[in-house]
Structure 1
């Protein structure tokens, strides 16, 4: 599980969802299924600084 997905998992637990499944269709979209009714795909947004991602610029 990627860091972004772990953050979403922690968020889902914090808002008291209990019936969720991680990667219900295997290693493809969606990342989470909630109550067999809601699909959640986790994406990371990148912020750029001088044409490099902030993540790479930090190193």
Structure 2
């Protein structure tokens, strides 16, 4: 478990039950999964920019 202290006992209990990962190193993911994540982030970023530019040109 990490060095971070929970806000209260209920949060600690929920994190133990739900199994929320606290220390995730994204650089250790498999390459296809990493590339898919990079693609999705890039796609959404470019989509938002395209929509903003399209709205300005109306």
TM-score tier after normalising by the smaller chain length: under 0.3
TM-score normalised by L of structure 2: 0.23
Higher fraction of helix: 2
Larger radius of gyration: 2
TM-score normalised by L of structure 1: 0.23
Higher fraction of strand: 1
